[in-house]
Structures are given as structure tokens and as C-alpha cells.
Amino acid sequence: MDWRGWQIKPARQDNIAPQASYVLRRGFSSCLEYNKSSIIDRGGILSKSQKLLGMALLLYFLLPACTAPASAGIDRSQSAFLQTSVTREVGTPPIPGVATSTVRSPPIVSSVTSQPPRETTTSVNRSQSPTQTAARRKATPTPVDCLTQGGQIEKGSLDTKLLRMPLIFRVYIPPCYDLHEKQRYPVLYLFHGQSYTDDQWDRMGVDEVADRLIADGQIPPLIIVMPFDRLGGQPTETNFSQAITEVLLPHIDKTYRTLPNRLHRAVGGMSRGAGWAVHFAIAEWRLFGALGVHSAAVFHTDAQRMRSWLSQIPEDQYPRIYVDIGDKDRPEIMRSTLWFEDLLNLYDIPHEWRLQSGYHAEEYWKAHLEQYLRWYTQAWWTDDVKFQYHFMLDSSNDPMK
């Protein structure tokens, strides 16, 4: 049997029943040219069983011939029809209101296969198809995706009459920040060293270290603010301190989803930035609940008033304090740091003190970034916060929530 030409090679020549000829003329006259070179030659009379068998074979093999002459092969239009039929047979539902030819090319890539969809131009309006329910869902990353993607650094600038130039700052936004619109975060303010800019902490990789520790579940997600002290000088000589407390802090709490209280707000810095951190945490103790002092150069104008400030802080309101310095730091920086640490001991203020190997250099602070972040966040990383954080991530597996 040669199905490509839709023909049956008879087992017996010159032998056909008149009844079979009548059936052919009545049933297939619209799609089959009947003549002497027909599929089965005329001949003698067949038996009754042969008649029935012949009619059955004719019905089975000649029915598709309605689409083309029996002597013709399958052209491209017929091939397309067969291909479309096979596609529908394996389960691809037709799209309502769209002709078959509009979805035949390019092929529709299944959403459950591992092959990524290709960007193509097609006349199919997927929003009209009731089967495209997934397209109406909000494209929300899963917790695993957003954690591995890491956080973001945003740059900001505020104009204020307190300063001659705009107040410039950077903000680190933790991973998954946009995924949970009701989640609020603690804030860490970090100040750079002298002659550097707001990019110093960022350049040393504080954001990458935070990304890794957050993704590993070792610290809670937090917001990090890195202001730019471009003016220099002592706190009494500029309005930088006032610009931070009266302009930047309210802006951060208004713009970002922070926990706007001193218990969830920390301040730290390196070198001159550590001097600013001491100033804010002691002089403005109502605003900050934790203080990180890394290789501090305490302002001499602050040193004159430090005892007065400390005496005004209730004993149960002392900030958490961390002090560290490299054992090969510059002598003047070493004296400044030791003076502040002795003052804490004099007032019996609890603090953590670390004298570690290193110089007054970025290599030293960069090597201890993980240590710093763990300390800043340890009071925030309670069992309740851990439970809420992991529950928050688990509940985000359903992108419809």
C-alpha cells in the first residue's frame, strides 16, 4: 500500500462489482474522478464477502482523498494541515478567535519546558486566551532569586540651608526589599575617613559582605546609609552634625521603610568618621542605640565636652559600644582611641574592646567588615526576628500573595 498517493494496489485485476461502482459514484463523486483507470479495474463479479471487503477498504483509504485528487501527492498546504492536526492531537488547545494559520508559525513554546521562550512578533493576543492565567500574575521573584541577586546601592542628594553644598549620601537597600512591602528594617549609618568620600565603605565592599551574610541567614536585613562629609573641620565649625540629625535622618525614615527609633539605629565610622560616630552617639544619644568606633580620631572639641555628655545619659540608656584599632596604627590615632576607651572604663560603661593586628589603612577595616556587621546587628538578630524573617521568606513562595 502506498499511502502517499492514497492508492490501493488490487490483488485481482479486471474484476469489480457493479454495486461497488455505484457506491463509488454516489459516495465519492465529489472528490474522485471515476473512469476506467480507477483504483480497482472493472472486471468480473466478486463474491459477496469480496464486495463487502472491497467497500470497507474503499471507505477506509479513499475518505482522505476528498482533500485532493487521488493521483496527487501531499503539497505544502496539505502538510501544514496535517502538522496542525498533530499539534492539536497532542494537547495544544486552540486559541479562541484566532485562525489556525496564525499560530502555526512561529511555534508556541510551552511554559513547562526547559527551553526559554524566544521574543517573536505574533498576531496572537495572549490576554484574550482564558488558558493564559499565568500571564496575569505579577512577576515577583522568589525568595531564593532575590537573595542571590543581592541588594542595591542608591545615591542621593539633599539641598539644605545648613550647608553650602548639597548633602550627598549613599543608601544600601537589602535583598528582597521590594518583595515585602510591609517589612521594616533597622538602619546603620557609616561615616568615611578623612579625605575620602561617601564611596569608601561601598568601595571596600560593605554591601557585598552584607549580601552574603543576609543570604546565609547570619545577620538580619538592614539599611546602610553612607553620608559624605566634604567640609572637614571640627563639629563646632560646621553645621554638618545638624544637617545629619535634622535633614538626613528624617529623610531616610520618610523615604525608606525603617524602624525609626534609637534601638534600631546604629552609627559607626573609621578614622575621622569614627570621630563623627562618637559625636552622634554621645551628644545625640536619643537618636542612636549602638556605636562602632574603628580606629578613632576623636574631635578635640568633643573631648572637652565628652564628660558632660556622658553624665547626661541615663545608665540604662547607654548605647552599645564597640571599639577596635590595629596594633600598628599611627601614634596619634592610637592615643585618641585609648583615651576614649579609658573614658568608657572611667564611667563604667559596658563596651567591647579589640586591639587587633593591622595598620591605619583600608586593608585593616576591609578585613574586619564581617566582624563589624555581625556586631552592629547582633542586638537586632533576636530569635523572634529570625522567626519572622524566615516566615516572611517562606510565605513568599506563592507569587500571588
Q: Residue 200 maps to which CATH number?
A: 3.40.50.1820
Handedness of CA 120, 122, 128, 130 (dihedral sign): negative
Instruction: Give the model's pLDDT for residue 231.
Output: 78
Task: Examine residue 400 and state whether it is found in any structural domain, yes or no.
Answer: no
pLDDT digits (tens), the chain, 401 positions? 444 444 444 444 444 444 444 444 444 444 444 343 444 444 445 566 666 776 766 666 555 554 444 444 434 334 333 333 333 333 334 433 434 333 333 333 333 333 343 333 333 333 333 333 333 333 444 556 788 889 999 999 999 999 999 999 999 999 999 988 889 999 999 999 998 999 999 999 999 999 999 999 999 999 999 999 987 889 988 899 999 999 999 999 999 999 999 999 999 999 999 999 999 999 999 999 999 999 999 999 999 999 999 999 999 999 999 999 999 999 999 999 999 999 999 999 999 999 999 999 999 999 999 999 999 999 998 877 777 666 666 654 443 33
- Same structural domain, 185 and 276: yes
User: Last residue of some domain: 13, 32, 67?
Assistant: 67
Q: Which 8-state DSSP code applies to residue 207?
A: H
User: Last residue of some domain: 67, 98, 113?
Assistant: 67
Using an 8 Å Cβ cutoff, are 274 and 365 in contact? Answer: no
Amino acid at 104: R
- Helix, coil or strand: residue 256: coil
Helices (H), 111-270: 143-149, 200-204, 206-215, 240-243, 249-255
- Same structural domain, 168 and 292: yes
What the block records as the C-alpha cell of 266 is 546604629
Task: Examine residue 331 and state whether it is found in any structural domain, yes or no.
Answer: yes
- Same structural domain, 246 and 388: yes
Task: Examine residue 176 and state whether it is found in any structural domain, yes or no.
Answer: yes
Task: Examine residue 20 and state whether it is found in any structural domain, yes or no.
Answer: yes
> What is the rounded distance in angstroms from the CA atom of residue 313 to the CA atom of residue 307?
10
Q: Tell me the CB-side half-sphere exposure of residue 101, using CA atoms within 13 A.
A: 4
Task: Examine residue 120 and state whether it is found in any structural domain, yes or no.
Answer: no
User: Last residue of some domain: 67, 87, 117?
Assistant: 67
Task: Examine residue 128 and state whether it is found in any structural domain, yes or no.
Answer: no
Instruction: Give the model's pLDDT for residue 211.
Output: 97
Instruction: Give the model's pLDDT for residue 49.
Output: 64
- Same structural domain, 195 and 328: yes
- Same structural domain, 14 and 157: no
Give the residue from 166, 213, 216 showing the smallest Cα distance to 188.
Answer: 213
Task: Examine residue 295 and state whether it is found in any structural domain, yes or no.
Answer: yes
- Same structural domain, 27 and 155: no
Task: Examine residue 82 and state whether it is found in any structural domain, yes or no.
Answer: no
0.85 exceeded by pTM: no
- Same structural domain, 60 and 157: no
Amino acid at 128: Q
Taking 3-state DSSP, the helix, strand and coil percentages for the chain, each rounded to the nearest 5, stand at 45, 15, 45
Instruction: Give the model's pLDDT for residue 60.
Output: 63
Q: Which domain holds residue 49?
A: 3-67
- Same structural domain, 251 and 363: yes
> What is the rounded distance in angstroms from the CA atom of residue 177 to the CA atom of residue 172?
11
Task: State how many domains the chain has.
Answer: 2
> What is the rounded distance in angstroms from the CA atom of residue 61 to the CA atom of residue 266?
85
Give the residue from 294, 276, 155 showing the smallest Cα distance to 225.
Answer: 155
> What is the rounded distance in angstroms from the CA atom of residue 386 to the CA atom of residue 398?
20
- Same structural domain, 160 and 265: yes
- Same structural domain, 196 and 55: no
Q: Could you tell me where the beta strands, DSSP code E, fall in 238-299? A: 265-270, 290-294
